[in-house]
Amino acid sequence: MSVNPQARRVLSGMRPTGPLHLGNYHGALRSWVELQYQYECFFFIADWHALTTGYEDTSALQDHIRAVLVDWLAAGLNPGVATLFIQSHVPEHAELHLLLSMMTPLGWLERVPTYKEQQAELRDRDLATYGFLGYPLLQSADILLYRADFVPVGEDQVAHVEVTRELARRFNHLYGREPQFEEKAERGVRSLGGRNSTLYRQLRRRFQEAGDTEALTRARALVQANNRITVADRERLLGFLEGSHLSILPEPQVLLTASPRVPGLDGRKMSKSYGNTIGLREDPDAVAQKLRAMKTDPARARRTDPGDPEKCPVWDLHKIYSDEATRRWVSEGCRSAGIGCLDCKKPLIDQIVEEVRAFRRRAQEFEDNPDLVRGIVAEGASKAREAAHQTLDEVRRAMHLRAD
Ligand code: TRP
Ligand code: SF4
């Protein structure tokens, strides 16, 4: 199937909790860099989301935002093709969040697994706040504001996208009603023109009768790529695929990114909260030192003890960084005690140090030139606001917050 980048929009965000590490890179950022060339992409720094848990001390916020931005640019996000922006620079997120809050049942938010989990995990902070409960709602506003088709996120965020879908459905159900919807929709189908009308009908049937979501995606792309139809017809035709309402806020889909397990230095998942990370732009000598001290299979207490790569976090890094021949060498050498752990780590250290060096090199230009970064952020905000404004305009009208 041919992909029309205009018709397929991707949106994702990251909280600015500090400089990014290799876990962030392999877990998300690397796939974003690929996505930006396949879709129309919006990537933003969720500074308001950072406040939901970090409201007490915000003094480092600007430093963190800047660090993440430069990390993004160093990793290859390209402001020439993707829209990169900061959430709070687009106040439309707040307006949509407010409007959606009116129709969000409390139970939907209380039931989101991350709500209780995070409260338990961050026991030292008071998270019995309105803002924290609203975290998934703000995220829904982020997504729906851009009418994103796809949201690339990890497993832990799937529940939030699910809430987003429910909210979109509820919104469309409440405010997407219109008299004679079916007749108008039928007329809209005809206005797609000969072959496209037929294709639309076929795809709609495949979705409605067989639940074929691929057909739904294709039908949506077909509607969105058509620039001869009116905005009202587009909303009708999108809504008609699934039901009998206008689709003012389309339901997004999760784009599960096939991300490898990135182990931290202690063998647990690499995470800032465990203090076991390697920074994207950390000093190369420090990186090498950290890797030399990284945990290995505990069974290999001595050089002569054979080991098992499956029980070793270093092996997980080889799966990410090493070619097949190196991996075979590691696997055989480890099991036979033919190589020591430092031998095993050597090619890995070379690879990772080289990668970190490249990030640092690319970051330098932006570090030396704060105006360049400011310009990227300003342009991102203005592009994002333009898209956001269109959605909000329709939302306000649908809710009768405007006279016409
Ligand atoms: N909650 C996401 C995270 O912690 C960040 C985020 C905020 C986000 N808004 C979003 C992700 C919208 C995707 C879409 O990783
Ligand atoms: Fe891990 Fe490599 Fe040592 Fe085996 S040789 S235990 S894979 S570091």
Is the Cβ atom of 47 under 6 angstroms away from ligand 1? no
pLDDT at residue 256, as a whole number: 85
Asked if pLDDT for residue 211 goes beyond 60, the answer is yes
Long-range contacts of 225-228 (CB under 8 A, 24+ apart): 225/4, 225/6, 225/7, 226/192, 226/196, 228/191, 228/193
Buried b (16+ CB within 10 A) or exposed e, 218-247: bbbbbbbebeebeeebbbbbbbbbbeebbb
Taking the CA of residue 331 as reference, the ligand 2 atom at the shortest distance is 7
Rounded CA-CA distance 357/355 in Å is 5
Taking the CA of residue 312 as reference, the ligand 2 atom at the shortest distance is 1
Q: For residue 245, what pLDDT band results from cuts at 50, 70 and 90?
A: confident
Distance 32 CA to ligand 1 centre (A): 13
Q: For residue 4, what pLDDT band results from cuts at 50, 70 and 90?
A: very low
Is the Cβ atom of 68 under 6 angstroms away from ligand 1? no
Each domain of the chain, given as residue ranges in start order, spans: 9-176+370-398, 181-240, 281-367
Q: For residue 362, what pLDDT band results from cuts at 50, 70 and 90?
A: very high
* Per-residue pLDDT reduced to its tens digit, 133-178: 999 999 999 999 999 999 999 888 999 999 999 999 999 999 988 8
**CATH number for the segment(s) 9-176+370-398:** 3.40.50.620
Type of residue found at 141: A
Taking the CA of residue 341 as reference, the ligand 2 atom at the shortest distance is 3
Ligand whose nearest atom lies closest to the CA of 295? 2
Is the Cβ atom of 136 under 6 angstroms away from ligand 2? no
From the number of C-beta atoms within 10 Å of its C-beta (0-12, 13-18, 19+), residue 283 rates as exposed
pLDDT at residue 194, as a whole number: 86
Q: Which residue CA neighbors atom 6 of ligand 1 most closely?
A: 13
Asked if pLDDT for residue 1 goes beyond 50, the answer is no
pLDDT at residue 6, as a whole number: 46
Asked if pLDDT for residue 384 goes beyond 90, the answer is yes
Arithmetic mean of pLDDT over the chain? 92
* Per-residue pLDDT reduced to its tens digit, 22-39: 999 999 999 999 999 999
Tokens of 278: 């390697």
Ligand whose nearest atom lies closest to the CA of 302? 2
Is the Cβ atom of 97 under 6 angstroms away from ligand 1? no
Is the Cβ atom of 49 under 6 angstroms away from ligand 1? yes
Distance of CA 94 to the CA centre of its chain: 19
Superfamily of domain 281-367: Tyrosyl-Transfer RNA Synthetase (1.10.240.10)
Angle at 342 between CA 341 and CA 347, to 5 degrees: 105
* Per-residue pLDDT reduced to its tens digit, 264-305: 999 999 999 899 999 999 999 999 999 999 999 998 989 999
